[in-house]
């Protein structure tokens, strides 16, 4: 187990991760990991699946509730295990180091790196649309990734400050979109903003077809709400992580839900259901109605900032997983080293940046993203199961006598060095409605996996093959250790 607070003499001589992030920083990291460019495009994808304002907004509300349940699950896990690596640490403690290693392996080779490459190219295209610079989108994408890599190597405080600034600008851009759509445009007939022409709640009678349509609409919504888990990666650098990280998860996800619902309301108000379904750039259309071509260009700048903020968040958080893997002896030893001055894992950060740059340059990121879906949601479901594992252990430790208490996991060390029983740690936050809400989240995750396997069997098999390919590497590093 990675213990960054070990007080023996050997550890004191080594640089350690510095707890320099507060509640505001953690909240911005949570929101930055969720809000990318999807909210500016996905409302139209949803409107093609369900065709009434009630269903469209209802799907986004449902997606927000799923994200909020996930936030509470990860909040309780963060209170129980406020360690470096977050989700990686939860999987390691609940199951086996192999499961955690495969998660980190998939994160490095597929989930995080491929996603960052795709977002970097999205940023580059909007940047070039605004500037008309005579360079290719891959060059701009690589430059952005390289710059953010260098910034995060300067220290967690520097990286977090840049991330927070970009996140605030991103929020202001979304608020500007909402304000312009609400106050500067007359609503379309039959939209949610038009009281004269009410519309039906459902676009078809309640049936299996309606359920499948809602399920199809939920896919882009769940992806738009994804990313809350990455904040847990930097738990080792958050002050009083047992309190601040759970609070940041819940507050951050609620803030994103409010912004997302407001954006969808405005898109429906300005474009109507038919107009929303007919466009692929709903947010740009809203700004064009409000302010003309200048509004569309302003939104393009907002989307560029949003994608850059998403990249900054990924560069700040994910390398902490590779650092934790190296500290466990399951990756290259150099990846687990901290710079003595900046106290950040610069090799892990550089590794993340270089791989993302290579994929962005190769142009294969779009294929890699097709492999991500099933892999990501398998681990989401498995991580939620950790709640049951840790609560069972907590109950065993709480028993004053008996065989189970003697074999249970020892009390967890708090950031200030004191020991705390798991029952005390768990009081910080609990998943409301557990076990029903937790089981519902697990079921949703694995339904997404089943649906992806059914619809894209070849891509799913490639993603699983990449995971399986990590097994011999695990035993190689385990043997070296």
Residue 396 has pLDDT above 60, yes or no: yes
Cα 351 to Cα 31: distance, rounded to the nearest angstrom: 24
In which band, very low, low, confident or very high, does the pLDDT at 81 lie, cut at 50, 70 and 90?
confident
List the end-to-end C-alpha distance of the chain, in Å, as a whole number.
14
401: in domain: no
d(CA 33, CA 86): 14
| Cα 140 versus chain centre, distance | 24
Q: pLDDT value at position 475?
A: 94
pLDDT (0 to 100) of residue 413: 44
Give the position of tokens 């035993």: 475
Which stretches does DSSP call E strand in 149-216? Answer: none
| Mean pLDDT lowest among 118-127, 167-176, 183-192, 208-217 | 183-192
Q: How confident is the model at residue 406 (pLDDT cuts 50, 70, 90)?
A: very low
Chain segment 362-391, per-residue pLDDT in tens: 766 656 666 676 788 889 999 999 999 998
Please report whether residue 476 resides in a domain. Answer: yes
- Containing domain of residue 159, as a range? 20-395+430-480
Per-residue pLDDT at 363: 67
Is position 417 within any domain?
no
Alpha helices in 226-292 (DSSP H): 241-278, 282-291
Q: Which residue has the higher pLDDT, 400 or 287?
A: 287
Q: Which pLDDT belongs to residue 49?
A: 87
Establish how many alpha carbons lie within 13 A of residue 243's alpha carbon, considering only the half-sphere containing its beta carbon: 6
Is residue 372 one of the residues assigned to a domain?
yes
Residues 6+ apart with CB under 8 A from 393: 408, 409, 422
Which single residue is written with the structure tokens 């294929």?
A: 367
pLDDT at position 124 over 80: yes
User: Residue 291 falls within a domain, yes or no?
Assistant: yes
Q: What is the Cα 125 distance to its own chain's centre?
A: 23
Ramachandran quadrant class, 469 (left: phi over 0; alpha: psi -120 to 50; beta: rest) = alpha
**The Cα angle at residue 71 between residues 440 and 177, in degrees rounded to 5:** 110
244-254 per-position pLDDT tens digit: 989 999 999 99
Question: Mean pLDDT: which of 48-62, 75-89, 181-195 is highest?
Answer: 48-62
Average pLDDT over residues 318-338: 91
Residue 80 or residue 12, greater confidence:
80
pLDDT at position 138, please?
87
Write out the two tokens for 92: 């390691």
Judge whether 418 lies within some domain.
no
Question: What is the total count of domains within the chain?
Answer: 1
Residue 202's pLDDT band (boundaries 50, 70, 90)? Answer: low
DSSP 107: I
CATH number of 218's domain: 1.20.1740.10
**What is the share, in percent, of the chain residues with pLDDT greater than 90?**
31
Does residue 189 or residue 161 have the better pLDDT? 161
| pTM for the structure as a whole | 0.82
Name residues whose C-beta falls within 8 Å of residue 200's C-beta, 6 or more positions apart in sequence: 52, 54
167 found inside a domain: yes
How many Å apart are CA 248 and CA 228, to the nearest integer? 10
Confirm whether 150 is domain-assigned. yes
Return mean pLDDT, the chain.
82
Q: Is the previous residue joined to 435 through a cis bond, with omega within 30 degrees of 0?
A: yes
- Cα separation, 468 vs 470, in Å, equals 5
| pLDDT mean over 78-90 | 85
- As a whole number, mean pLDDT of residues 127-149 equals 89
Whole-number pLDDT of residue 258: 95
Q: Tokens 């970097």, residue? A: 120
CA distance 56 to 265: 9
Least confident range of 3-17, 55-69, 205-219: 3-17
pLDDT one-digit tens code per residue, 227-237: 888 888 888 88
Q: What is the pLDDT of residue 463?
A: 81
Task: Choose the weakest-confidence range: 5-19, 194-208, 218-232, 244-258.
Answer: 5-19
* Structure tokens given for 236: 């080792």
CA-CA distance, 86 to 201, in Å (whole number)? 41
pLDDT given at position 45: 87
270/264 Cα distance (integer angstroms): 10
């Amino acid at each position: 187990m990675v213990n960054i607070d070990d007080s023996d003499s050997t550890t004191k001589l080594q640089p350690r991760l510095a707890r320099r992030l507060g509640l505001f920083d953690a909240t911005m990291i949570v929101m930055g990991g969720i809000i990318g460019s999807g909210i500016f495009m996905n409302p139209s994808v949803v409107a093609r699946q369900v065709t009434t304002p009630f269903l469209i907004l209802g799907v986004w509300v449902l997606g927000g509730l799923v994200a909020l349940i996930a936030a509470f699950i990860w909040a309780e896990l963060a209170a129980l295990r406020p360690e470096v690596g977050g989700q990686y640490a939860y999987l390691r403690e609940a199951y086996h180091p192999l499961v955690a290693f495969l998660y980190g392996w998939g994160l490095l080779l597929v989930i995080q790196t491929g996603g960052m490459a795709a977002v970097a190219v999205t940023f580059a295209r909007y940047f070039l649309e605004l500037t008309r610079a005579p360079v290719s989108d891959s060059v701009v994408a690589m430059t952005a990734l390289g710059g953010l890599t260098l910034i995060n190597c300067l220290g967690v405080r520097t990286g977090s400050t840049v991330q927070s600034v970009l996140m605030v600008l991103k929020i202001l851009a979304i608020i500007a979109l909402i304000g312009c759509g609400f106050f500067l445009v007359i609503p379309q007939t039959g939209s949610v903003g038009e009281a004269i022409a009410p519309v039906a709640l459902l676009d078809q009678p309640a049936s299996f077809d309606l359920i499948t349509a809602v399920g199809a609409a939920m896919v882009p919504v769940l992806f738009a709400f994804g990313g809350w888990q990455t904040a847990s990666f930097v738990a080792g650098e958050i002050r009083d992580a047992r309190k601040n990280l759970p609070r940041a998860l819940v507050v951050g996800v609620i803030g994103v839900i409010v912004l997302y619902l407001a954006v969808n309301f405005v898109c429906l108000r300005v474009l109507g259901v038919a107009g929303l379904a007919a466009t692929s750039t709903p947010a740009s259309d809203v700004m064009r109605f409000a302010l003309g071509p200048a509004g569309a260009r302003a939104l393009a700048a907002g989307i560029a900032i949003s994608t850059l903020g998403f990249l900054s968040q990924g560069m700040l958080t994910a390398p902490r997983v590779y650092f934790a893997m190296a500290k466990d002896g399951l990756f290259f030893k150099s990846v687990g080293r901290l710079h003595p001055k900046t106290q950040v894992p610069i090799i892990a950060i550089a590794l993340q940046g270089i791989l993302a740059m290579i994929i962005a340059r190769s142009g294969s990121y779009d294929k890699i993203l097709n492999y991500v879906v099933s892999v990501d949601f398998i681990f989401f479901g498995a991580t939620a199961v950790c709640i049951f594992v840790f609560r069972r252990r907590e109950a065993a430790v709480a028993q004053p006598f008996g065989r189970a208490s003697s074999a249970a996991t020892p009390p967890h060390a708090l950031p200030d060095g004191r020991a705390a029983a798991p029952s005390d740690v768990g009081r910080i936050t609990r998943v409301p409605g557990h076990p029903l809400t937790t089981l519902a989240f697990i079921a949703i995750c694995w339904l997404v996996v089943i649906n992806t396997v059914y619809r894209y069997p070849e891509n799913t098999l490639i993603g699983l093959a990449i995971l399986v390919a990590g097994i011999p590497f695990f035993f190689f590093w385990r043997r070296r250790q």
